[in-house]
Amino acid sequence: NNGGEDILLGWSLRPLPDPRNSHAMAYDAARRQTVLFGGYGTRILGGTWTWDGSGDWRLAQDEGRLDAPSPRYSHAMAYDSVREVVVLFGGTNGTTRNGETWEWNGAAWIQRIVDSPGEVSSHAMAYDAGRGVTVLFGGSDSDNNLRGQTWEWDGASWSRRDDKGEGPAPRIQSAMTYDAAAGMVILFGGDTETEFAQGEGGGDEGVLNDTWGWDGQTWTLLDDGQSKDAPSPRKGHSLCYDAELERVILHGGGNGESDTRTWQWDGTSWQPLIGPTPGARTSTAMVYDASRRTAVLFGGFDGDDDGEVWELASGRWSLRTDSIRPTPRHLHAMTFDAVRGRTVLFGGSDGEPDGETWEYDGRLWALRSVGGPSPRVSSAMTFDTSRQACVLVGGQNNILEGDAWTWNGARWTQLPAAGPSGRHGHALAYDAARDEIVLFGGYDGQYDGETWVLRGDQWTLVSTTGPVPRIKHAMVYDAERARVVLYGGFNGRDLGDTWIWDGQSWTEVAVAGPPVRSGHSLVYDSVRRVSLAFGGRTLGVPSNQTWMWNGQAWTAFSFTGPSGRYDHGFAYDVFRATGVLFGGFNGPVLDDTWEVTGPR
């Protein structure tokens, strides 16, 4: 039924954690998800994120809460499988170190008010499943002194468990994990020099590649790192135990130069893992997802802060998602390529017009081209099923553009035919019943009320009557009714009229609808056979409303979604029956990706 409120739709943000380094992760086996907290990127980060392997991050708890750990980096986390909580300890905000103990129960952080190992950062932690305790080693204290202490947390109190004999040298930026096959905690590498105040990089001379084991009583040197086959000395690496391979996995870290290889420890010696890897990076984090038998690696520093998720399954790495996405922008053009199954974005601005072409496959954004049409704003784009290509027309940079281009998924090609005058703020829709592209309105030195159609490579002016001249209106083809729908716009004032184009003429539909608006967007939901409108500016105020047009009446949806905005991009992914929204403007220029969908 497409009559109104019985259509169930909902918006969801496709969030991504900021690129970062010096963060911490733990695998929560009870809830079957990886938990991420904190780190250092463009700022010191807080917030709790979860990853279940489905391809989407979930922001479980935003930062800035008083009932959660403060933003920090160089902390450590481990999962206590007996008590089913993630344990977080220590870290720094760049000025002071921290000695707090926190536990995450899947819904909230709870601070444990106990005597602690002190204020420490750049330490290592692992959960000893054989003995049911979290083990902490090393780090740097508030006086910048390196520590070689071993502590254990049993869920009630911390106890110091220093080895009676000779153990690992005091160090920072080492890594630990629990080797279930050997029944001991494994420690590798680290730095024995004092850390810097920010970034905690330390020097290069005291960096180690020794391997130690802790059985709850004694540290044992398992490998002194002198063999030519051992991993090079490093700091800022990560370890996890792969239960499927029955190996300890090491990736990342460095000592001046970062190692691109992944290593595995079989209890006796280290060997490199054969095949492609996530590449060189330091200050990364890695855990083992036991439910999916997959190692999960996120972030790190590789010259820039990184936001990729890599997964290692059956000895092979694969890139699952990354933080690459278009920069903040508005006034861009978007449509869905129904042949290649990609949402296509072109142009826009965050101060300067842009000429990039991006594609989104429902999981990842990818920059596909920086050539083709000149950088511009306020162009219009639609997908031409007959050409099997996206068609982009007009826009503005320093001049009003009147050119037309096609994008076939690999390259842009300019169409030779002369057509409408140069303009911006117009709208396009592909009329599948008549196999033609319909253009209406825009600004070409004055508000325009022309209707043009593009058939093949030939433009034809077909009407100068109908809707009043305007810009920043929205248009879409309604496949169920074989009509083009136009709503709203601006011609000195915001407009709120609805018009229908039948291939010959425009007809105004005298119905109540959304409040007047401009800079909004309109897509056709082919599964539910309705048009969806979102956002826009209503009398100067950004709107966050979602409306539906069923061919007869407008209906407002009451669910929450993106913040109010205008001049965003909106396209309908017919492969996934999902509307995709990116960016826009509501004071700042935005770079968030949202999806709206419902049951099929």
What tokens appear for 449 in the block?
């009320």
Q: Write down the pLDDT at residue 8.
A: 63
Structural contact between residues 472 and 464, judged by C-beta atoms closer than 8 angstroms: no
Q: Write down the pLDDT at residue 524.
A: 98
Instruction: Evaluate if residue 165 carries a pLDDT over 70.
Output: no
CATH code of the region 17-321: 2.120.10.80
Half-sphere exposure of 550 (CA within 13 A, CB side): 13
Confidence of residue 599 (pLDDT cuts 50, 70, 90): low
Instruction: Evaluate if residue 552 carries a pLDDT over 80.
Output: yes
Instruction: Evaluate if residue 511 carries a pLDDT over 90.
Output: no
Total residues found in the chain within this entry: 600
Confidence of residue 164 (pLDDT cuts 50, 70, 90): low
Q: Write down the pLDDT at residue 563.
A: 94
Confidence of residue 4 (pLDDT cuts 50, 70, 90): very low
pLDDT (average), residues 558-572:
93
Q: What percent of the chain has pLDDT over 70?
A: 96
Q: Write down the pLDDT at residue 218.
A: 94
**Mean pLDDT for all residues in the chain:** 93
Confidence of residue 5 (pLDDT cuts 50, 70, 90): very low
Q: Write down the pLDDT at residue 229.
A: 85
Structural contact between residues 82 and 132, judged by C-beta atoms closer than 8 angstroms: yes
Q: What percent of the chain has pLDDT over 90?
A: 86
Q: Express the helix, strand and coil content of the chain in percent, nearest 5 each.
A: 0, 50, 50
Instruction: Evaluate if residue 198 carries a pLDDT over 70.
Output: no
Q: Write down the pLDDT at residue 324.
A: 80
pTM of the entire predicted model: 0.73
Mapping DSSP to helix (H, G, I), strand (E, B) and coil, where does residue 509 land?
A: strand
Distance CA 599, CA 17 (A): 28
CA 200 to chain centre: 26
Q: Write down the pLDDT at residue 558.
A: 75
User: For residue 266, what are the CA distances in angstroms to 180, 196, 247?
Assistant: 11, 34, 5
Q: Write down the pLDDT at residue 13.
A: 81
Instruction: Evaluate if residue 159 carries a pLDDT over 70.
Output: yes
Buried b (16+ CB within 10 A) or exposed e, 494-512: bbbbbbbbeeeebeebeee
Q: Write down the pLDDT at residue 196.
A: 45
- The pLDDT tens digits of the residues spanning 267-281 come to 999 999 999 999 999
Confidence of residue 583 (pLDDT cuts 50, 70, 90): very high
Q: Write down the pLDDT at residue 133.
A: 98
Instruction: Evaluate if residue 202 carries a pLDDT over 60.
Output: no
- The pLDDT tens digits of the residues spanning 229-249 come to 899 999 999 999 999 999 999
- Domain boundaries defined on the chain: 17-321, 333-597
Confidence of residue 197 (pLDDT cuts 50, 70, 90): very low
Q: Write down the pLDDT at residue 143.
A: 92
- The pLDDT tens digits of the residues spanning 298-310 come to 999 999 999 999 9
- The pLDDT tens digits of the residues spanning 108-157 come to 999 999 999 999 999 999 999 999 999 999 999 999 999 999 999 999 99
Non-local (6+) Cβ contacts of 139 within 8 A are 90, 120, 121, 122, 123, 124, 146, 147, 172
Work out the angle at residue 57's Cα, subtended by the Cα atoms of residues 127 and 308, and round it to the nearest 5 degrees: 80
199 vs 13 pLDDT, higher one: 13
Write down the number of H helices and E strands in the chain.
0, 51
Q: Write down the pLDDT at residue 200.
A: 43
Instruction: Evaluate if residue 23 carries a pLDDT over 50.
Output: yes
CATH code of the region 333-597: 2.120.10.80
- The pLDDT tens digits of the residues spanning 26-85 come to 999 999 999 999 999 989 999 999 999 988 889 999 888 999 999 999 999 999 999 999
Instruction: Evaluate if residue 406 carries a pLDDT over 70.
Output: yes
**Whole-angstrom distance between the N-terminal and C-terminal Cα of the chain?**
11
Structural contact between residues 575 and 340, judged by C-beta atoms closer than 8 angstroms: no
**Bridge partners of residue 490, in order along the sequence:** 471, 494
- The pLDDT tens digits of the residues spanning 461-501 come to 999 999 999 999 999 999 999 999 999 999 999 999 999 99
Distance CA 109, CA 105 (A): 7
pLDDT (average), residues 313-338:
92
Confidence of residue 201 (pLDDT cuts 50, 70, 90): very low
